[in-house]
């Protein structure tokens, strides 16, 4: 691609010490080109700030309610690029209560020396609901 007076685009970028992306970011008059996603990015950011717990499906639905014709994959890409993906908070359930007055049985398997098959069988009981 020729740029004018025999200079190639690559040579002009080299002389001006600018990257290819920076070179194409501006038009012939030196004005910044309008990003097609800029208005959409603004709408997504507004929704993400208004509703911090919204993820891609809800933001897409909200954009459609506001009159945008938008694909969920495009919304996801913009959310990922702008670091706006919502982080799920998983509910942590405590199932162990070590502060009790009941007897704690020792681990007898820890001191055993095994010399053959079927000398030690172990079961793992994760959670049993008791009345107390």
Residue 35: per-residue pLDDT: 67
Identify the weakest region by mean pLDDT among 44-48, 78-82, 95-99: 95-99
Do residue 26 and residue 40 come from a single domain? no
Query: Is residue 43 in some structural domain?
Result: yes
Domain that residue 51 falls in: 35-92
For the cut 50, the answer to whether the pLDDT of residue 2 exceeds it is no
Cβ contact 63:47 at 8 Å: yes
Identify the weakest region by mean pLDDT among 1-5, 84-88, 90-94: 1-5
For the cut 90, the answer to whether the pLDDT of residue 9 exceeds it is no
Cβ contact 26:33 at 8 Å: yes
Cβ contact 79:72 at 8 Å: no
95 vs 20: CA distance, rounded Å: 57
* Across 99-126, average pLDDT: 86
Query: Is residue 114 in some structural domain?
Result: no
Residue 36: per-residue pLDDT: 67
Query: Is residue 111 in some structural domain?
Result: no
Q: What percent of the chain has pLDDT over 70?
A: 83
Number of domains forming the structure of the chain: 2
Highest-pLDDT range among 30-44, 78-92, 99-113: 99-113
Do residue 11 and residue 24 come from a single domain? yes
Query: Is residue 99 in some structural domain?
Result: no
């Amino acid at each position: 691609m020729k740029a004018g007076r025999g200079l190639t685009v690559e040579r002009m970028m080299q002389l001006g010490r600018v990257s290819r992306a920076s070179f194409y970011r501006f038009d012939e008059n030196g004005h910044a080109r309008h990003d097609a996603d800029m208005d959409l990015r603004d709408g997504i950011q507004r929704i993400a700030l208004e509703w911090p717990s919204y993820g891609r499906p809800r933001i897409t639905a909200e954009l459609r309610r506001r009159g945008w014709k938008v694909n969920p994959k495009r919304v996801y890409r913009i959310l990922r690029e702008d670091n706006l993906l919502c982080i799920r908070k998983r509910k942590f359930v405590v199932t162990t209560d070590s502060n009790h007055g009941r007897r704690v049985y020792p681990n007898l398997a820890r001191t055993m020396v095994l010399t053959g098959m079927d000398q030690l069988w172990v079961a793992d009981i994760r959670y049993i609901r008791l009345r107390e």
